Amino acid sequence: KQGVFTYDPAFTATCSCTSDITFIDGENGILMYRGYPVDQLAEKSSFLEVCYLLLNGELPNAPEMDEFRDAITHHTMLNESLVKFYDGFHYDAHPMAMLTGIVGSLSAFYHDTTDVNNPEHREIFARRMIAKMPTIAAAAYKHSIGQPKIGPKNHLDYASNFLRMCFAVPAEEYEIDPVAAKALDVLFILHADHEQNASTSTVRMAGSTGANPYAAISTGIAALWGPAHGGANEAVLNMLSQIGDVSQVGKYVEKAKDKDDPFRLMGFGHRVYKNFDPRATIIRGYCHEILEHFGMQNNKLFELALELERIALEDDYFIERKLYPNVDFYSGIIYQALGIPINMFTPMFAIARTVGWAAHWSEMMADPGMRIARPRQVYTGYELRDYINIDKR
């Protein structure tokens, strides 16, 4: 049944909206997409099936899944004039900068998604965005390494297509590793949506003005880039490399507790989870399997991460503040094992979260009672005063 959850009025007073899409119980570490627990979806579903679920509210039957998969498959290519936009970026531009610019420029291309009040326009927008994000991200990676961009292949699944667009080169055949593709598909499922996080709220805020949906998605990419949000997955790997050795973990845990020290344990803490982030638990378990598959059992950074978690979770500072590893703490270990460079970790998050952004935008725009977002403030400035001419100042 829907809508059976009851809330403390003090909590609902803090809420910016209602939504049927995702449920988080931060105290008990529960995450559900349309009522289905994320651990079951990670184990039994596929990212594209989860996309259908998040967008439509129900799991698809076989004909619905075939139609959806076919629609996504036939929207994966980029307009050649859009591909030229990459040439405007310096080779060392951060891929998230390219994603923000390229996705925003999609708003100049399509006229079959301009009527945000038309359900058909909303559906084609969501499908096109989900389909194109891997191609856009892979092209950004190719641009950053000076290699020719590789287009999508329609016979490949979503994750395999992305891996091939990143790592294939014209000079050689590229062989898909099914274990790598499955691991990526699971990570995409785990990152697909997370109710009103900063980037999703940003997309809703921008979309509430009636703005072009592609432009609204580009605001979500910008928000996700921050190290306090999706940028944390990149920051975790840089932090682990900075710590360098298990012997240094205690020193950095103490630094993270020092209010005068800007150092924070990246990948730790969460505004909502005051218990384990269920996604972190699943990803940590997957690390063992993936590292073994790639013969990286003694991965130094993973050992560092495990030791960091062990020490922090025994420390009163972290226990009192209910600081646990979040989704970003272990994900980079798997991305790195798959050969994905650190500066592409947050684009991975963006690829997955595109469906969450699109689902929340669509849900909001379908609401006849939707009004422009307009947060208020507590004013702490001057009281009324008269202008003083510069010769009197």
Is 38 an interacting residue with respect to ligand SDX (CB under 6 A)?
no
If binding is defined by CB under 6 A, does position 130 make contact with ligand SDX?
A: no
Q: Give CA angle at 152 (146, 155), nearest 5°.
A: 145
* Closer of 108 and 228 to ligand SDX (Cβ): 228
Q: Which residues pair with 23 in a beta bridge?
A: 32
Query: Which has the closest alpha carbon to 284: 259, 262, 267?
Result: 267
Give Cα 10 distance to the centre of its chain: 29
Residues 187-226 binding ligand SDX (CB under 6 A) are: 194, 197
Distance of closest approach, residue 8 Cβ to ligand SDX, in angstroms:
19
Quick check: 267 binds ligand SDX (CB under 6 A)? yes
At 54, phi and psi to the nearest 5?
A: -65, -35
Residue 107 in contact with residue 212, Cβ under 8 Å?
A: yes
| Residue closer to ligand SDX, measured from CB, 141 or 318 | 318
Q: Any residues with CB less than 8 A from the CB of 117 and at least 6 apart, and which?
A: 365
- Is 282 among the residues that bind ligand SDX (CB under 6 A)? no
| Spatial contact of 243 and 254, defined as CB atoms under 8 Å apart | no
Q: Is 264 in the site for ligand SDX (CB under 6 A)?
A: yes
Asked whether 347 and 95 are in contact (CB, 8 A), the reply is yes
Binding of residue 106 to ligand SDX (CB under 6 A): no
Residues forming beta bridges with residue 313, ordered by sequence position:
none
Q: Tell the residue number behind the tokens 């997409």, with chain if given.
A: 33
Binding segment toward ligand SDX, per CB under 6 A, in 104-112, 299-307, 322-330, 372-380? 322-330
Identified binder of ligand SDX from the candidate list 216, 323, 334, 358, rule CB under 6 A: 323
Question: In the chain, which residue ranges form alpha helices assigned H by DSSP?
Answer: 9-12, 38-44, 47-56, 62-73, 80-83, 95-105, 119-144, 158-167, 178-190, 198-207, 213-225, 232-243, 249-257, 278-293, 300-312, 316-320, 327-337, 345-365
**Closest to ligand SDX by CB, 144 or 331:** 331
266 binds ligand SDX (CB under 6 A): yes
Q: Of how many residues is the chain composed?
A: 393
Q: How far is the CB of 224 from ligand SDX (least distance, A)?
A: 8
Binding span for ligand SDX by CB under 6 A among 13-21, 94-102, 260-268, 339-347: 260-268
Q: Is 308 in the site for ligand SDX (CB under 6 A)?
A: no
Tell whether residue 228 is a contact of ligand SDX (CB under 6 A). yes
Instruction: State the nearest-atom distance from the C-beta of 198 to ligand SDX, in Å.
Output: 6
Strand-pair category, 30-33 with 22-25: antiparallel
Q: If binding is defined by CB under 6 A, does position 95 make contact with ligand SDX?
A: no
Query: Among 232, 333, 348, 359, which residue interacts with ligand SDX (rule: CB under 6 A)?
Result: 232
Q: Catalytic residue positions? A: 270, 328
- Interface with ligand SDX includes 60 (CB under 6 A)? no
Q: Which is nearer to ligand SDX, 45 or 197 (CB)?
A: 197
In the chain, what is the greatest distance between 2 CA atoms, to the nearest angstrom?
Answer: 78
Which residue, 271 or 288, is less far from ligand SDX as judged by CB?
Answer: 271
Spatial distance between the Cα atoms of 238 and 91, rounded to a whole number of angstroms = 21
Residue from the set 328, 345, 358, 365 that interacts with ligand SDX by CB under 6 A: 328
274 binds ligand SDX (CB under 6 A): no
Give the sheet arrangement for strand 36-37, strand by strand.
Answer: 22-25, 30-33, 36-37
Chain residue at closest Cβ approach to ligand SDX: 269
Name the site residues for ligand SDX (rule: CB under 6 A): 194, 197, 228-230, 232, 256, 264-272, 321, 323, 326-328
